[in-house]
Amino acid sequence: DAQGTTVSGTGEPGATVVVRDVAGQTSGQGTVDANGNYSLTLATPQGNGETLTVVQSDTLGKVSPTITLTAPDFTAPAAPTATIAEDGSAITGTGESGATVTVRDPAG
């Protein structure tokens, strides 16, 4: 979900669904209902773009292929670094990969 607290989906009725974090630790587990739906509350909310895996196993112990999910990212990036060239012709620095950096003059 958008808050990073639940994982929901569809599966084989009666199957057990397990959600694991990037370290392989179980973060949520439950059973697919008779209509083929599940909704699991995660032990720890995931809100920083974490990678989760989901797998289901049926009552005979047969295991599905694993799917990968990316949790929402609610965490603001750290402040970028910036350096202005001595002649004022360029600004260089570092920031979070994929983030947009905006440079403004004193007027905004």
Domain annotation covers residue 107: no
Domain annotation covers residue 55: yes
Query: For the domain that residue 60 is a member of, what is the CATH number?
Result: 2.60.40.10
Domain annotation covers residue 76: no
Domain annotation covers residue 75: no
Q: In this structure, which amino acid lies at residue 106?
A: P
Domain of residue 17 covers: 6-70
State pTM to two decimals.
Answer: 0.70
Summarize pLDDT for 24-44 with one digit per residue, the tens: 999 999 999 999 999 999 998
Domain annotation covers residue 98: no
Q: How far from the centroid of its chain's Cα atoms is residue 97's Cα?
A: 16
DSSP for 21-70?
A: -TTS-EEEEEE--TTSEEEEE-SS---B--EEEEEEE-TT--BPPPEEEE
Beta bridge partners of 9: 38
Domain annotation covers residue 53: yes
Summarize pLDDT for 3-30 with one digit per residue, the tens: 788 999 999 999 999 999 999 999 999 9
- How many domains in the chain? 1
